[in-house]
Amino acid sequence: MRCPWCGAPDTRVVDSRPAEDGTAIRRRRQCPSCGRRFTTFERGQGAFVRVIKRDGSKEPYDRQKLVEGVRKAIKNRPVTEEQVTALAGRVEEAVRRRGPDVTSQELGVEVLGELRRLDEVAYLRFASVYKDFQEVTDFERELGLMLQKREPKRSGRP
């Protein structure tokens, strides 16, 4: 692995440990030339998954695109990077179980479900882009559906 600081071609691993619930390996590396350390993550390739876009075209599944979309939705929300990584892992696992081809709609629905459990404001932001909201009434409709699906709060009386 090339050093990101000085560009030296060989670095050595000084520590390895499981990460992301065992789906990745975190490696601490050190450059013998400049002495600086950096972290890399190693993930298995797994089954090849293609995403079928709305126009019918196909492209390889890209975890980074999913994470970037979620990051936009959680901007200024109390959500940690670890929670985003875990969300991406759960979505990825669900997509892989579906098979080699998954539609962008199926992928979006999976992300929406995970975001709704994580942060309802982020869910609404993501839904507004994913479902192509055009008017305020679109937000009202989605919020109404969210409120219907909530369990009513119980009072302290028997």
For the chain (158 residues), the mean pLDDT of every run of 10, in chain order, is 92 91 86 95 75 93 92 95 92 88 93 93 90 87 83 54
Q: Around Cβ 12, how many Cβ atoms within 10 Å? A: 10
| pTM > 0.75 | no
Give whole-number Cα distances, 44 to 23, 50, 57, in Å.
7, 16, 26
Q: Distance between CA atoms of 1 and 4, rounded to whole angstroms?
A: 9
Question: Which 8-state DSSP code applies to residue 38?
Answer: E
Predicted local confidence at residue 76, as pLDDT: 94
What angle in degrees, to the nearest 10, is found between the helix axes of 63-74 and 81-98? Answer: 140
Predicted local confidence at residue 129, as pLDDT: 87
Predicted local confidence at residue 45, as pLDDT: 61
Q: Around Cβ 31, how many Cβ atoms within 10 Å? A: 21
Predicted local confidence at residue 156, as pLDDT: 54
Predicted local confidence at residue 43, as pLDDT: 75
